[in-house]
Amino acid sequence: MKAVVFNQYGGPEVLRYTDVPEPQIGSRDILVRVRACALNHLDLWVRKGIPGVEIPMPHILGSDISGEVEKIGAEVMHVGVGERVLLAPGISCGLCAQCAAGKDNLCRHYTLFGYKVDGGYAEYVKSPAANAVTIPAHMSFEEAAAFPLVFLTAWHMLITRAALKPAEEVLVLGAGSGVGSAAIQIAKIVGARVIATAGSEAKLAKAKEIGADEVFLHGPREWSRDVRQLTNRRGVDVVFEHVGEKTWDESLKSLAPAGRLVTCGATTGYEGKIDIRFLFTRQLSILGSYMGSRAELFDAVKLASRYLLKPVIDKVFPLSQAAEAQRRLENREQFGKIVLRVE
């Protein structure tokens, strides 16, 4: 089969479009003929190499996969050949206490497609049958691939971790990112008032189109003042963080008393400071969040099938141009998801 692989860590130039053997499936697996695979920042981290994490080489990236079921293992019952599926990006053991409790993203064996196992930058991918989710009839393969990781992540952050409520106000950083565009939509379904930031006027306009009530340009300035101004000096109940070091201080300053900062990433750096007096006197919460459970993904897909959530697609590239697609993500030129189409 054709696939984009890399044999050494490095820049986009290490990605090679080449022939590799088709994966062999086990009795509880399915083989999926990939039709689309969306990019995530994780792809860039894995390609560059993460200190202390060993990636099997040659490696195939890609956590967000949609396609058709090509083959099923002998024990697979709930999904059939030819079905249009998207794949839950997280793979867990299915056997431990956390998995049994439906918290598969807390499983100690939890990993993702394209991380410790081969992903979707390929014509075929092997998947546990349990990861297959039927694609709503109106969604294209590109839309289906653009959906799982960011909507699952944003859902777990806002609904499960931060327990966002209708009367509350939420600040969504980086509306142009896939996870930001998902967060705006989920927060609007809850009924919250959404303040969103982005790096350009064009992106602010798009953030409003997908539901943001208020928007402002972020950047190296004290934008928590904008948040105060937009909230009658109170601050927001929830800050949706994924930027990290560059925004951490201003994010904390944007919180109302008893506010929650929920974070799933640190694309600009890992160090964040906090004045502990500020944390306890204002009764703040800092919540970490990583991916989400399969049950949460089923909920999010249900809302997509009702047209309430809609993946935002920035640009579609053919699989052979994966390196070009990654450069676009790396340069933060996108609004929404960059998707690879697999012919």
Residue 219 C-beta: closest distance to Zn ion, Å: 42
Pairing of strands 236-241, 169-172: parallel
**Which lies closer to Zn ion via its Cβ, residue 115 or residue 335?**
115
Residue 101 C-beta: closest distance to Zn ion, Å: 10
- Tell me the two tokens of residue 290: 């990583």
Length of the chain: 343
Residue 106 C-beta: closest distance to Zn ion, Å: 8
**Which residue in the shown chain puts its C-beta closest to Zn ion?**
107
**Which lies closer to Zn ion via its Cβ, residue 90 or residue 259?**
90
Radius of gyration of the chain (CA): 20
Do 179 and 172 contact (CB within 8 A), yes or no?
no
Pairing of strands 90-91, 111-112: antiparallel
Residue 152 C-beta: closest distance to Zn ion, Å: 17
**Which lies closer to Zn ion via its Cβ, residue 16 or residue 28?**
28
Binding site for Zn ion (CB under 5 A): 92-93, 96, 99, 107
Q: What is the DSSP string of 22-91?
A: PPPP-TTEEEEEEEEEE--HHHHHHHH--TT-PPPSSEE--SEEEEEEEEE-TT--S--TT-EEEE-SEE
- Tell me the two tokens of residue 98: 């956390």
Residue 128 C-beta: closest distance to Zn ion, Å: 12
**Which lies closer to Zn ion via its Cβ, residue 105 or residue 326?**
105
Taken in order 296, 302, 308, 309, is the CA torsion positive or negative? positive
**Which lies closer to Zn ion via its Cβ, residue 93 or residue 295?**
93
Q: What distance in Å separates the CA atoms of residue 194 and residue 190, rounded to the nearest whole number?
A: 10
Q: What distance in Å separates the CA atoms of residue 148 and residue 304, rounded to the nearest whole number?
A: 11
**Which lies closer to Zn ion via its Cβ, residue 92 or residue 231?**
92
**Which lies closer to Zn ion via its Cβ, residue 10 or residue 102?**
102
Residue 232 C-beta: closest distance to Zn ion, Å: 46
Q: What distance in Å separates the CA atoms of residue 102 and residue 229, rounded to the nearest whole number?
A: 41
Do 23 and 62 contact (CB within 8 A), yes or no?
no
Residue 327 C-beta: closest distance to Zn ion, Å: 36
**Which lies closer to Zn ion via its Cβ, residue 90 or residue 235?**
90
Residue 292 C-beta: closest distance to Zn ion, Å: 15
Tell me the H-state helices in the chain.
Answer: 41-48, 97-100, 141-146, 148-155, 178-190, 201-209, 224-230, 248-253, 276-281, 294-305, 322-330
